[in-house]
């Protein structure tokens, strides 16, 4: 087998395994799953199938942890962008954003005391930048708003805008919500 093929195989594998670990899976668990898949060294297509399968299994393992689901889905978007046909990038980003919202909802009983802020990075396209630091009512955001931005023309992986939930402030700038409660 060509060195180039093997090298590519190893690079994709190492990159994915490192990401699996950063998501919280033990090296032992990853190795067991990998060996069970019986992938021939250098078979890049089988390797990519395994990686996608692992990410999906990981979502099931994190079925009660929306924060980890959010990271997991974002990893899937990046993987699809880097190594597959980029057809699932937008869907995976959307699932990641949804998981972030679910994470917030599951941890907060008083969501109406919060607002949504859109975080947009400096080198984003005009569509994304137009939303920079805008503040949305949570209820309005949940029913009307969609991330990633639909008409985004950012280069590379596209829209990387994120949302964060911030406590509302009173007119004098103090927080309505007592965060110590
Ligand atoms: Zn955007
Ligand atoms: Zn954009």
- The rounded mean pLDDT for the chain is 93
Q: How far, in Å, from the CA of 93 to the mean position of ligand 2?
A: 13
**Considering the entire predicted model, what is its pTM?**
0.90
Instruction: Count the alpha carbons within 13 Å of 2 in the hemisphere toward its beta carbon.
Output: 6
Model pLDDT, residue 143: 87
Task: Quote the ligand 2 centre to 38 CA distance (angstroms).
Answer: 40
Share of the chain above pLDDT 90, in %: 81
CA of 8 relative to ligand 2 center, distance in Å: 30
Pairing assessment for the beta strands 135-137 and 162-167 based on DSSP bridges: unpaired
**How far is residue 102's CA from residue 55's CA, in Å, rounded to a whole number?**
19
> Residue 154 and residue 76: Cα distance in Å, rounded?
19
102/69 Cα distance (integer angstroms): 10
**How much distance in Å is there from the Cα of 101 to the middle of ligand 1?**
16
* Res. 181: pLDDT tops 70: no
The pLDDT tens digits of the residues spanning 114-140 come to 999 999 999 999 999 999 988 998 888
The CA 128 to ligand 2 mean position distance, Å, reads 4
Burial of 127 (0-12, 13-18, 19+ CB in 10 A): middle
SS3 175: strand
Predicted confidence (pLDDT) per residue in 13-58, tens digit: 999 999 999 999 999 999 999 999 999 999 999 999 999 999 999 9
Q: Residue 179: which of 120, 110, 80, 116 has the closest Cα?
A: 110
How many angstroms is it from 124 CA to the middle of ligand 2?
A: 5
Cα 154 to ligand 2 centroid, rounded to whole Å: 4
Length of the chain: 181
């Amino acid at each position: 087998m060509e060195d180039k093929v093997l090298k590519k195989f190893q690079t994709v594998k190492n990159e994915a395994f490192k990401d699996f670990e950063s998501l919280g899976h033990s090296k032992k668990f990853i190795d067991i799953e990998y060996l069970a898949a019986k992938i021939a060294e250098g078979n890049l297509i089988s390797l990519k199938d395994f990686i996608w399968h692992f990410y999906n299994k990981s979502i099931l393992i994190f079925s009660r942890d929306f924060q980890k689901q959010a990271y997991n889905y974002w990893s899937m978007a990046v993987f699809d962008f880097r190594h597959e046909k980029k057809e699932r990038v937008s869907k995976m980003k959307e699932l990641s954003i949804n998981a972030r919202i679910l994470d917030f909802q599951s941890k907060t009983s008083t969501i109406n005391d919060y607002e949504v802020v859109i975080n947009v990075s400096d080198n984003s396209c005009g569509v994304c930048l137009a939303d920079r630091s805008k503040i949305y009512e949570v209820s309005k955001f949940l029913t009307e708003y969609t991330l990633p931005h639909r008409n985004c023309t950012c280069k590379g992986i596209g829209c990387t805008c994120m949302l964060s939930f911030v406590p509302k402030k009173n007119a004098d700038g103090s927080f309505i919500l007592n965060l110590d409660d």
